[in-house]
Amino acid sequence: MFILVLGGGVSGLSCGIRLAEAGHSVELWAREVSPHTTSDVAAAVWYPYRAGPQERVNAWAKRTYGVLQALGQEHPEAGILRVSGVEAFSAPVEDPWWRDSVPDFRRARPEELPPGFVDGYAFSAPVIEMPRYLPFLMARFQALGGRVVQREVRSLEEAWARAPVVVNCTGLGARALVGDESLYPIRGEVLRVEPPPVDRFIFADEADRIAYVIPRSRDCILGGTAEEGNASLEPDPREVDGILARTAGLLPPGTRVHVVEHKVGLRPGRPVVRVEAERVGGRTVVHDYGHGGAGVTLSWGCAEEVVALVEAHGR
């Protein structure tokens, strides 16, 4: 079957790969490709953030965890690291709803928590270096026979003129493409710093702010922000001091970091992730968008469901 995938981020590429592996002929249209996609900005540690519904997200996240772990072992060039860390809270908490997706989940010991935090959990998770991972996905897709065309699509009619089966991985672009007004931007700002100040990730959850430290092989991501409804891609210089201040307490005393990049991305917020098939006049579109802050975390689980939906509804 000939299938057209819309979107050149992690969702589009993952769907393209799985569809090609299933024997389909796949063409991918993207307005932007790496390093200019929203996925390129992602801190990209496995974590089901700002995505629902919980039952479906848990299944997608668990499957993606396993795929990322295997890719990291089999393909060092993919830029996938297995990193241990903690999520810390300033008040007692119950186990998270996603705990069964993580093989080594446990409660954090007091000495593992940053100063001022009283509860939390410890686990290992894939950390994905997007400047390496996205080119890896692109090369894998093309090696499977996938074709990439850099162009913007403004309607499903335009896409269906090329193929009767379309996979919609356009993220926030789906608001205009299919009229989905439930989509909204969740603006996130992060800092890339050198050298990595710690060898574990740290998430800190408090009522009025978020902070995280995500070490990578040569640098580290400090974050972050989650500003709903703001679609500006212009970095706010004021956020640099804010992020550094929020993460300072998560690092060893006296730690100094050098900020080498200030990045902004727009997470595609939606009440629930949309993975479903739609038939219109004998033609098919399978949607895969609205992943919130969990696009990488859900990518392979969603892509495999997309393949099943294409094969069930696309003939």
Amino acid sitting at position 30: A
Residue 139 neighbours by CB under 8 Å, 6+ apart: none
Residue 294 marked ligand-binding: yes
Q: Consult the annotation and say whether 269 binds a ligand.
A: no
Q: Do 161 and 27 meet the contact criterion of CB atoms below 8 Å apart?
A: no
296 assigned binding-site residue: yes
In whole angstroms, what is the distance from residue 16 CA to residue 193 CA? 33
Is 292 annotated to bind a ligand? Reply is yes
Is 118 labelled as part of a ligand binding site?
Answer: no
As given in the structure block, the two tokens for residue 126 are: 């894939």
Residue 281 burial (CB count, 10 A) = 6
Annotated binding-site residue? 284: no
Following DSSP, what letter does each residue of 193-219 receive, concatenated? EES---SSEEEEEETTEEEEEEE-SS-
Around Cβ 63, how many Cβ atoms within 10 Å?
A: 19
Is there a binding annotation on residue 295?
Answer: yes
Q: For residue 124, say whether it is annotated as part of any ligand binding site.
A: no
- 265 appears as a binding residue in the annotation: no
Do residues 106 and 27 lie in contact, with contact meaning Cβ atoms separated by under 8 Å? no
C-alpha distance from residue 301 to each of 31, 33, 99, 271, 307 (Å): 24, 22, 17, 19, 10
Binding-site members for D-dopa are 212, 267, 293
Binding-site members for FAD are 38-39, 153, 170, 292-297
Binding-site members are 38-39, 153, 170, 212, 267, 292-297
